[in-house]
Structure 1
Amino acid sequence: MMLSRTGALGLLAGAAILGTPLQAQDAGNRPAEPDANDIVVTGRADEPSPAEVNRQAREITEERGDLMYNPLARIEDRLCPGILGLKPEFAALMIDRIRWSGERLDMWMADDTDCSPNLVIAFVEDGQAELQRLAENQGYLFQWMDRKDRDALLAEEGPVRVWTTSMMRASNGMPISRRESLTSPPVMQMNAAHSKIYINVREDIAQTVVLFDREKVRDKTLIQLADYATMRGFAKTRPTSSAATMDTILALFDETGTPPSGLTDFDQAYLRTLYKGIPNIKGMTKINGVDRELRNIREEQAGE
């Protein structure tokens, strides 16, 4: 596991996966300085409506059951990212970026010199082949996944695969036993479990593994890959296309458009809403709060 290096975050911007130095901008290609008589108009494109924000937030959410009665999954343990398959200096930069994003969300941070990774990012030759090998030789690793989810993961195509292990807990953090049959559901007794605001269970992400196919991500920057892993690892989300109403790093591997350089305002609003407050809030309540958080971010930017 590669651990973070203090002060390395400032080197992230524009750092490519292969470490190729950025080319200096040609003076002949620089935009001309505006004339004194020119009128420069700056502004923001039409703001998305609350309905559009809520729709996109729901579209990127990997749903499990009715979100009116189920929470959204998030990391409740201390965050410990780890990188496999990269040069040490590049791995350290990615880890610094991920930890920085976690600190902005007030997540608990594990000691970066000695921790067991719960967000593992691996760069491999063929992610699908790696998962197939694990399924054949170490099938017990998938025991907590539903058969449908397991089959979908093993059949998934593309340059990245995300394998998330989560567990349901009571609102006080006590584990809930897994249901073994339709006739014997798990039962738990607890105090103060009734509320119209929150529910009596939460879903904790125990570990997430993000597998990147090495040859297919060479045109991406370290900051893009770190932020993509952040958006897939801090929450149970799914990729989308560049046709989405608002820019999102989840469209990083869509070939029909130009992906963003990192987490977008929408991405940050989604994560800030997810990690704000207690974890046992109804999923739809969290999703409906993304628009409010997005507007808060825009107001903060306007005041800078």
Structure 2
Amino acid sequence: MIRPAWPMVALIASAALAQAPSAPPRPTDDIVVTGTRDTPRKIEQTAWAMTPHRDLYHEPLAQFQTPVCPGVIGMPPEYAAMMIARIRAVAQMAKVRLDREKCKANLLVIFTPGGQAALQDIRNKRPWPLEGIDRAELYDLATDPDLRELAAQPGPVHVWVSTETRGRLGEMLSGRGDGDEPAMLKTANAQSHIYLAARQDIVASVILIDIPALNGLHVRQVADYVAMRGLAQTRPPGQRGKVGTILSLFDKGAIPPLEMTTFDLAYLRAVYGQIPNLPGSAKITQVAYEVKKAAKGE
């Protein structure tokens, strides 16, 4: 069960967010994305830069197929509720299926005094540093190699998106997936030049955020950032980004937007608005079209 974490940490986190320049959003607030008019080339360049990939011409983008259930640990209940409401609103705008309100979280954001130290403690079997979630729950979401990868990530945010490969209709792979018995997809459908035989399903997303990095940030900004990192496999584009994105929220020296931009929502709509076994490259080229639709009010 997801519940607020240790009281002192929660108070520190809420105090940092409370220094934001405007009042926290109400759960019923409409989403109003912001952004400037950018060229399709800049939009596509940024979409490529923020998408971790090996070969997106032959691989799909990962997305949730099961209903999404956001959960928050390390925030007082009132702030956690606002953050969850905002994440749900973003998901709804991106046409992502949502679970009922009382559900087991599969998009989990954890606020900690220090994410790298907490992950090292977890891996070294030291006293459990994450009150509010037990060891079994976390290991359901991330294996030890995942945690090692998480701990190696620099900066105040650590993200793991757990995925599994399935057939285009959701068929499970056969085989154990090890060297003796590699996992294989049994399907009678041939792979075409347009569609792929398999899709990538997001099983769960875990986002750890260092509390000191929240200083001066708005609940809405953090929730939008979490939505962009948790609903898809993304990363901050850094200097390769040519258009505004909420993914710059924790970049050093950056002036991030006050909420997700038109580009951000267009990216999520491109991921979820088409069949899941489409090559990732096709969805990335769709982002500029989604931005254009948003500009027309569609």
1:134 aligns with one of 118, 122, 144: 122
The Cα offsets for residues 111-150 of structure 1, whole Å up to 9 and x where unpaired, read as 102x110011111111001111222237993997695x76
Contact 1:17–1:221 (8 Å) recurs in 2:
no
Q: What is the RMSD computed on CA atoms of the aligned residues?
A: 2.9
Contact 2:168–2:197 (8 Å) recurs in 1:
yes
Residue 109 of structure 1: how far off its partner (Å):
1.4
Task: Quote the Cα distance in structure 2 between the aligned partners of 1:243 and 1:84.
Answer: 32
Contact 2:195–2:279 (8 Å) recurs in 1:
yes
Residue 266 of structure 1: how far off its partner (Å):
0.8
Aligned length: 266
Contact 2:44–2:288 (8 Å) recurs in 1:
yes
- Distance change >3 Å, CA 210–CA 17, structure 1 → 2: same
Partner of 1:59: 49
Opposite residue 201 of structure 2, the aligned amino acid is: D
Contact 1:145–1:165 (8 Å) recurs in 2:
no
Task: Quote the Cα distance in structure 2 between the aligned partners of 1:16 and 1:204.
Answer: 36
The Cα offsets for residues 2-26 of structure 1, whole Å up to 9 and x where unpaired, read as 59xxxxxxxxxxx9854358689xx
The Cα offsets for residues 40-66 of structure 1, whole Å up to 9 and x where unpaired, read as xxxx96x43322221110100011x31
Opposite residue 221 of structure 2, the aligned amino acid is: Q
Contact 1:202–1:279 (8 Å) recurs in 2:
yes
Task: Quote the Cα distance in structure 2 between the aligned partners of 1:209 and 1:184.
Answer: 29
TM-score (norm 1): 0.79
SS across alignment from 2:110: strand
The Cα offsets for residues 207-233 of structure 1, whole Å up to 9 and x where unpaired, read as 111111112212111001000000000
Task: Quote the Cα distance in structure 1 between the aligned partners of 2:143 and 2:284.
Answer: 24
Identity %: 34
- Distance change >3 Å, CA 20–CA 60, structure 1 → 2: closer
Deviating beyond 6 angstroms after TM superposition, the runs of 4 or more aligned structure 1 residues are 142-146
Q: Which runs of 5+ in 2 are unaligned?
A: 5-13, 24-34, 126-134
Are residue 292 (structure 1) and residue 289 (structure 2) matched?
yes
TM-score (norm 2): 0.80
Task: Quote the Cα distance in structure 2 between the aligned partners of 1:23 and 1:299.
Answer: 29
Task: Quote the Cα distance in structure 2 between the aligned partners of 1:21 and 1:59.
Answer: 29
SS across alignment from 1:185: coil
1:157 aligns with one of 154, 167, 184: 154
Residue 93 of structure 1: how far off its partner (Å):
0.2
The Cα offsets for residues 251-281 of structure 1, whole Å up to 9 and x where unpaired, read as 0011222110111011111100000121111
Partner of 2:113: 125
Task: Quote the Cα distance in structure 2 between the aligned partners of 1:275 and 1:244.
Answer: 22
Q: Which has the larger radius of gyration?
A: 1
Q: Equivalences for 1:199-218 in 2 at 5 Å?
A: 199-218=196-215
- Distance change >3 Å, CA 92–CA 156, structure 1 → 2: same
Contact 2:20–2:218 (8 Å) recurs in 1:
no
Q: Which runs of 5+ in 1 are unaligned?
A: 4-14, 25-43
User: Relative contact order (alpha carbons < 8 A, sep ≥ 6): 1 or 2 greater?
Assistant: 2
SS across alignment from 1:229: helix
Task: Quote the Cα distance in structure 2 between the aligned partners of 1:23 and 1:166.
Answer: 37
Contact 1:242–1:257 (8 Å) recurs in 2:
no
Residue 72 of structure 1: how far off its partner (Å):
0.4
2:104 aligns with one of 116, 128, 135: 116
Task: Quote the Cα distance in structure 2 between the aligned partners of 1:258 and 1:194.
Answer: 44
